[in-house]
Structure 1
Amino acid sequence: MEPSFTAACCIIGDEILNGKTRESNAHFLSRYLFDMGISLKRVEVIADDYDAIAETITRLSSQHDVVFTSGGIGPTHDDLTYNAIAKAYSLPLKLDEETCESMKAKSINRFPDWTLTEARKRMAIFPHPAKILRVDSDLWVPIVVVNENIHILPGIPRLFESLMHSLRPHLEQAMAKKDITGKYYRIEIATTRPESKIAPCLSKTQALVEDKHIKIGSYPKWATGPDGERVVVSIVGKDEAAVKETAKSISEEIDGWEYIKKV
């Protein structure tokens, strides 16, 4: 069996579930982890609710190598992530003075009349003990790691993406401990044939490449594409040569061509 390093993501926020805010962090994370060679297995979106956060995070943490949360760490009453995760693991909450000082220093540079209020201190009260990763020197907000694999991040996309980029060396070290190497490769093949006509070929090929840990997916177009394509077939795996060989074989059988999405 191929060694694996799996991830899960929990998006926290009523504003996502009621349609006020369009969620983008999961999409960014899926592309980011794919490039690293980490398999994102699950994304769950939940409300700002103590019990929902505690149940979801503990379950995901027990099932995956790494978990990322997004949202619920602001200064208001409905920001519950730190509190709920602390409660889930029977941990006390503790004010992190270093985070407060960093918040103050970086905020006063932008807003001279800024003060460290009790509401703002809420953003520096973390489960204790926890690993505090200060991975981005431009930001005061750290990544708080609980139970070794739960990484608590803000929901604001700019902050989430910046922190994830800076976290890469940390994730690479975690992967190395499990001897996980190599990124994923993807080739897409387009065809003018309908999905029903190519299904036998794809099923047969998937069975043949199962031991090479290659996944084949079929994605029909709602309308015919600019080059007449009706279906795009995706071939994904870590063995680049095997991915190319599989794509070539499928392309020949379904009269396909390598698909490059036109912007």
Structure 2
Amino acid sequence: MSVVGAKKIVKAACVIIGDEVLNGKITDTNSKFFSKYCYDLGIKLTEICIIGDEPDHLISTCKRLAINNDLIVTTGSTGPTPDDIAYDCLCKIYNDTPLKLSQTCVDRMEKFNSPTKRFSGQALLDHYRMATLPSGPNTSEDYPVETTWVPVAGIHNQIYIFPGIPQLFESLITGMREKFKKLYKLDDVKYKRYYIKTQYGESSMSRFLRELQAKGQQISPEIKIGSYPHWGMGFNTISVLGLEEHDDLLQELKKEAIAKLDGTEISAEEEEKNSGQRVEATSDNGYKVIKE
């Protein structure tokens, strides 16, 4: 953990595993959900990686991320087929976490979907691959959703392995919220963010934003000034982000931006809506919003 003043900043990284994401078969939504999750908990998300089902790549990526991050969340590659490599590979990040069939997970499988009534022989053994988890004194096995057998396997209180199915991932990691808050002592750090809408272009306000950023950085490296163009919509958005403990300064920076850029403060919900709009050029050299 890094320290800013008296506050400890918990750093996290997210690894999305799956050839199906890289080849365009599915669209990743887990990283966006995790980004908001981290923001709400006061965790500093440092990196999001999307990699294929390649063992060496997964191992090297997580080893690299483990150097500077307190929490690494992986999603995907936890199923029963040969390309599901997460449990096997992530055990190899450390030397004390062998794979072992979890009787707890097997019992929950039987309770919730009765695999012994549906499978036999090799098919049953393959199904149990999803219950073959990292084991040993430095591992954990959580079931934060009472209505499913699916576990969250943890290694060294640092790496946590989640399924890739968005509905499962979202419910499981939401269920891990209290554990993460206690484990990483997250009650002390909260982020605050303000949005300002302006008609100024990025080039014309670039110097001012650099000056604003420098003013914030004198107080805390966690204060970030961002600029987000909304192409074709006639405005840009400025973001003022920092720790809640520096809210007085954040509000001062916000007021400076509003005054200097003829801006208007907007809500996070408005900015989310603006960011989701699709725009296309029209024949008269204008633009129009595409309604889905």
Counterpart of 2:111, as a letter, is: A
Specify the alignment match of 1:134 in structure 2.
143
TM-score with structure 1 length normalisation? 0.91
The structure whose RCO (Cα within 8 Å, separation 6+) is larger is 1
Q: Please identify, of 152-161 and 192-201, the stretch whose mean Cα deviation from structure 2 is larger.
A: 192-201
Q: How many residues align?
A: 255
Structure-2 separation of matches of 1:180 and 1:209: 23
Pick the aligned partner of 1:86 from 79, 85, 91. 91
Q: Please identify, of 85-94 and 182-191, the stretch whose mean Cα deviation from structure 2 is larger.
A: 85-94
Structure-1 separation of matches of 2:127 and 2:99: 15
- The change in CA–CA distance for 1:96 and 1:112 in structure 2 (over 3 A counts) is closer
Pick the aligned partner of 1:33 from 4, 19, 38. 38
5+ residue gaps, structure 2 = 274-292
Structure-1 separation of matches of 2:42 and 2:91: 30
State the percentage of identical aligned residues.
34
Structure-2 separation of matches of 1:171 and 1:88: 21
5+ residue gaps, structure 1 = none
Pick the aligned partner of 1:122 from 124, 129, 135. 129
Matched-pair contact (CA < 8 Å) for 1:4–1:180: no
After superposing on structure 2, the runs of 4+ consecutive aligned residues of structure 1 that deviate more than 6 Å are none
Counterpart of 1:98, as a letter, is: T
Counterpart of 1:148, as a letter, is: N
Structure-2 separation of matches of 1:187 and 1:87: 42
Q: Please identify, of 92-101 and 213-222, the stretch whose mean Cα deviation from structure 2 is larger.
A: 213-222
Pair 1:76-2:81 in alignment? yes
Pair 1:147-2:156 in alignment? yes
How far off its partner does 1:88 sit?
3.3
Matched-pair contact (CA < 8 Å) for 1:214–1:236: yes
Specify the alignment match of 2:113 in structure 1.
107
Matched-pair contact (CA < 8 Å) for 2:9–2:189: no
Pair 1:7-2:12 in alignment? yes
Specify the alignment match of 2:24 in structure 1.
19
Structure-2 separation of matches of 1:215 and 1:41: 14
- CA RMSD of superposed structures (Å): 1.8
For the residue of structure 2 that corresponds to 1:204, the secondary structure is: helix
For the residue of structure 2 that corresponds to 1:44, the secondary structure is: strand
How far off its partner does 1:241 sit?
2.8
Structure-1 separation of matches of 2:228 and 2:76: 31
Matched-pair contact (CA < 8 Å) for 2:38–2:45: yes
Q: Please identify, of 240-249 and 111-120, the stretch whose mean Cα deviation from structure 2 is larger.
A: 111-120
Specify the alignment match of 1:252 in structure 2.
259
Counterpart of 1:57, as a letter, is: C
Specify the alignment match of 1:163 in structure 2.
172
Structure-2 separation of matches of 1:224 and 1:106: 50
More strand by share: 2
Structure-2 separation of matches of 1:4 and 1:182: 7
How far off its partner does 1:113 sit?
4.7
Structure-1 separation of matches of 2:68 and 2:118: 42
Q: Please identify, of 150-159 and 210-219, the stretch whose mean Cα deviation from structure 2 is larger.
A: 210-219
How far off its partner does 1:138 sit?
1.5
Pair 1:189-2:196 in alignment? yes
Specify the alignment match of 1:198 in structure 2.
205
Counterpart of 1:99, as a letter, is: C
Q: Please identify, of 50-59 and 72-81, the stretch whose mean Cα deviation from structure 2 is larger.
A: 50-59
How far off its partner does 1:192 sit?
1.1
Counterpart of 2:32, as a letter, is: H
Pick the aligned partner of 1:49 from 44, 48, 54. 54
Pair 1:222-2:222 in alignment? no
Structure-1 separation of matches of 2:189 and 2:67: 25
Specify the alignment match of 2:67 in structure 1.
62
Counterpart of 1:235, as a letter, is: V
- The change in CA–CA distance for 1:119 and 1:87 in structure 2 (over 3 A counts) is same
How far off its partner does 1:19 sit?
0.8
How far off its partner does 1:259 sit?
2.6
Structure-2 separation of matches of 1:214 and 1:238: 7
How far off its partner does 1:115 sit?
4.1
